[in-house]
Amino acid sequence: MNPKYLIRFFAAAFVILSIAFFHREFVEQFQCYLTGKASVISGEWHIVALNITLFVLLLLPLSFRRKARWGEYGMVAGFFVSLFIEMYGFPLTIYFVSKYTSEAVKCAEMVFGFEWLGVSFGMEIAMIYASIFIAVGTLLIMVGWFTLYRNSKKDTFVLSGIYKYSRHPQYLGFILIVFGWMLDWPTIITLVFAPVLIYKYITVCWTEEKEILKEYPGYQTYIDAVPMFI
């Protein structure tokens, strides 16, 4: 079977089976955070700084197919900054919402916990699921950069490696990361800005390809053969 179809099959199966088996845990996760009942970590500013640094570094590419437009990356950088400040610094949304909700809400049970840099963390099913999206997204970005770096000295458009299966693996990576954090931390910030960011990256792909087609009409053959994301 064509590798492209295998990837699509396993991706679809993963999503469908996860929803089928763990839909209750996902609902509990959203209810718990949106009603301000979640148990959160706060005041751990060293964790905030480290996470912001690591994820913003993903925006500093080794090489790009086109000149970087930093306004596009500034939006996702702002998302990460506000996200981690809320997650580990000052959970403003949860503190605000909890004042106005008194209903009892069942929060998802912790599956396992661990300690890192002196801070205790706990993970529910939804967080583990979200972590898979984040890990896969990060891997796609890194592999995409590595592929571009290896071909950076060639005066040709990169169509090899991971680009044989996805026209925009790095943008797909960012979309998966943003989606993963929305599942992991479903508060007002993520539920409002994550869909905006995902839409933004999709439109960036369309804009980039229109620009490329003006310079390289033969790129249409590549578009016809390789999916935009997966």
Asked whether the predicted pLDDT for residue 41 surpasses 70, the reply is yes
Q: Specify the amino acid at residue 136.
A: V
- The answer to whether position 146 is within a domain reads yes
Asked whether the predicted pLDDT for residue 72 surpasses 70, the reply is no
> What pLDDT digit, counting tens, does each position of 183-210 carry?
999 988 888 889 998 998 898 888 888 8
HSE of 100, CA atoms in CB hemisphere, 13 A: 5
Structural domains counted in the chain:
1
Instruction: Tell which wins on pLDDT, 92 or 50.
Output: 50
Burial class (CB in 10 A: 0-12, 13-18, 19+), 169: buried
What pLDDT score does 63 carry?
A: 45
User: Is residue 37 classed as helix, strand or coil in its secondary structure?
Assistant: coil
HSE of 127, CA atoms in CB hemisphere, 13 A: 16
The overall pTM is greater than 0.75: yes
Q: How far apart are CA 82 and CA 191, in angstroms?
A: 13
Burial class (CB in 10 A: 0-12, 13-18, 19+), 159: middle
Asked whether the predicted pLDDT for residue 70 surpasses 80, the reply is no
Asked whether the predicted pLDDT for residue 64 surpasses 70, the reply is no
- The answer to whether position 230 is within a domain reads no
- The answer to whether position 48 is within a domain reads yes
Range of the structural domain that residue 191 is part of: 3-225
What pLDDT score does 137 carry?
A: 92
Burial class (CB in 10 A: 0-12, 13-18, 19+), 83: buried
Asked whether the predicted pLDDT for residue 46 surpasses 80, the reply is yes
CA angle 148, 150, 155 (to 5 degrees): 75
Q: What is the CATH number of the domain that holds 112?
A: 1.20.120
- The answer to whether position 171 is within a domain reads yes
User: Is residue 122 classed as helix, strand or coil in its secondary structure?
Assistant: strand
